[in-house]
Structure 1
Amino acid sequence: MNFTLRQVSYLVAVAEHGTLAAAAAALHVSPSAISVALDELDRALGVQLTLRRRAHGVRLTPAGRAAATRGRRLLRDAGELATSVGGSGEVAGVVSVGCYPTLAPAVVAPWIAALRERHPRTRVEFVEDDQDRLQRRLLDGELDLAVLYDHGLSSGLDTERIAANVPYLLVARDHPHAGVGPVDLRVVADEPMVLLDLPPSSDHALAVCRELGVTPRIEHRTRSPEMVRALVGQGLGWSVLAQAAPDPSTTVARVPLDREPPPLPVVAAWSRAITRSPVVRAMLDARP
């Protein structure tokens, strides 16, 4: 091997930050040091990995994008090796986890705690993103695992079911149907709806409405679950959500539906093309 992990880490940093200056700031080195390392990596691999023009920043070539993807895996494997050479057999290393935003508080937070309790020398780096981007990042090798809804997933992913969320009606705390037992969704059919406009949640919520005979009058759309709760809490509409975590808000109320739609399965997903490392397997085993 005629290249170094340092050179690979500089390429990955440029891919993630987009410019030499931003990558240099993140790594606490000079832009010129990164530029020299990239030139050395080009010569070592015999291919041009980046296009660097002063007025246009840095772009990765197709070979550069492929090298950055493989480089991320190489750096994670090297980090895991470095933290596990003590000979104790203890699982150690970093696992990169992506999560659909509405699932993170209920699923990922307790999962990280369970993993750290079993394996103190592990560390979880997690990101929240929409379902499509998380799938792409899994397939590109940027993430080890992702927590997703089992809806429209790529055939290149393997999955393990970890939960199932039941949809419910969300209304303001002072709504006439707050605190009432299961209700027919049609009781709010004439009122405006606040839609969590973040697929697949939006697709599922609208499918629930159709199944229960309601054509919603969507007044507000937002990609933020917190904004959904804020708008509903102000009496500006109702919503259909499927989050499992208890809602700490005192301004909204959850009301079960009398015709309960099928649960929406939640899965842990990983790329079928990438072998799971010991720390990834340990995280799957540690799921609470």
Structure 2
Amino acid sequence: MAKSFTLVQLRYFTVVARLENMRAASYELNVTQSTLSAAIGQLERELGVQLFHRRSNRGLRLTDAGRRLLVGSRTVLEDADQLHHSVRAEREELAGDLVVGIFSPLAPFLAPMILTVFKERHPAVKLSFFEADQEALIRALAEGTCETALMYDLGLGTDYDYQVLQTVPPHLVVAEDHPRAAIPDEPVHLRDFEAEPFILLDLKHSREYYLDIFKRLGLRPRIRHFVSGYETVRSYVSMGHGYSLLNWRLTRDETYAGGRVVALELADELPPTELVLVRLRGGRPTRKSLAFQEICVDLLGQAPPEQH
């Protein structure tokens, strides 16, 4: 016998799943918490499964059944949105919500640019970014919080497919008054900086990547500061607190602290990272996520992208 859950219940469910909090979801949906709770309860009864773990004072967490429903709900809701718009308009237009993960250090530089182009091409889609570190993005993809994520290829397992957009080699950054900053076009060797204080971008997977660079060269960095923010690293460097290694290279050299940094190319042969679009393997991508992928390739792709 077919189950009689509704599209409204599915929409409510997807918002609660994304926010993991009834109060926040009721605010976003503009319904009362009691209405939302009743809708989720009815959905669970219709499906005969528990969709959320209720955690005292810690919000909600999807069960395995809830994660499976979230993945399947995306295409159902998208098809419903497309049907609605095709009836009301002469041409079919993408519509609905799309949540995309993005690696936090990349978000200030890439998210506004991508959002601008996406809104121009698909004005009926509400695009939202979920900013997090690599570990949290991998978890969000596995749990269905976001359908795709723009990140580096660090820490990915076999459960994920990804598309390469750019190869991003590491570079070294120093303050503008550093002696080596006077000749910015001349590549440098990392060993020449080993004795100086090092500022580490302290995010899981990123941290291991940078420390492995030193290990490959037989070097040990003098780590002076562990910093979790990309711009904080650059600001520390600009104020003379040490040097650092980074990957994403900015065109501007001024930092939030007001000082300036100089990016130096490394002469050492070092492994690059790859900027990739990641999705959970085996899922059917929505047309909205494919439209996002197309825009990322247009804006960020260096060459015909590779599929993994």
TM-score (normalised: structure 2) = 0.80
- Residue of structure 2 equivalent to 1:142: 145
Task: Classify the secondary structure of the residue corresponding to 2:181.
Answer: coil
Aligned-pair CA distance for 1:239: 0.5
Match of 1:176 among 163, 167, 179: 179
Query: 1:262 is matched by which residue type in structure 2?
Result: P
2:175–2:237: 8 Å Cα contact kept in structure 1? yes
- Of stretches 186-195 and 253-262 in structure 1, the one that deviates more from structure 2 is 253-262
- Of stretches 67-76 and 145-154 in structure 1, the one that deviates more from structure 2 is 67-76
- Residue of structure 1 equivalent to 2:282: 273
Counterparts of 2:144 and 2:217 in 1: how far apart (Å)?
40
Change (3 A) 1:236 1:57: closer
Task: Classify the secondary structure of the residue corresponding to 1:178.
Answer: helix
Unaligned 5+ runs, structure 2: 300-308
- Of stretches 216-225 and 89-98 in structure 1, the one that deviates more from structure 2 is 89-98
Match of 1:190 among 190, 195, 201: 195
1:201–1:241: 8 Å Cα contact kept in structure 2? no
Aligned-pair CA distance for 1:256: 1.4
Counterparts of 1:54 and 1:146 in 2: how far apart (Å)?
30
2:12–2:39: 8 Å Cα contact kept in structure 1? yes
Counterparts of 1:152 and 1:55 in 2: how far apart (Å)?
31
State percent identity of aligned pairs. 36
Counterparts of 1:131 and 1:15 in 2: how far apart (Å)?
20
Counterparts of 2:226 and 2:79 in 1: how far apart (Å)?
42
Residues paired across the two proteins, number: 288
Task: Classify the secondary structure of the residue corresponding to 1:198.
Answer: coil
Change (3 A) 1:211 1:272: same
Asked if residue 254 in structure 1 is aligned to residue 263 in structure 2, the reply is yes
Unaligned 5+ runs, structure 1: none
Taking only aligned residues, the RMSD between alpha carbons, in angstroms, comes to 2.9
List per-residue Cα deviations over 1:27-68 (Å, max 9, x = no partner).
222222223223322332233445669988666555445445
Counterparts of 1:189 and 1:54 in 2: how far apart (Å)?
49
Counterparts of 1:217 and 1:189 in 2: how far apart (Å)?
7
Aligned-pair CA distance for 1:190: 1.0
List per-residue Cα deviations over 1:120-166 (Å, max 9, x = no partner).
44442211111122122223332222112123312122211101112
TM-score (normalised: structure 1) = 0.85
- Residue of structure 1 equivalent to 2:4: 2
2:171–2:247: 8 Å Cα contact kept in structure 1? yes
Match of 2:42 among 40, 43, 47: 40
Residues 48-197 of structure 1 mapped to structure 2, 5 A cutoff: 48-50=50-52, 62-71=64-73, 74-85=76-87, 86-180=89-183, 181-197=186-202
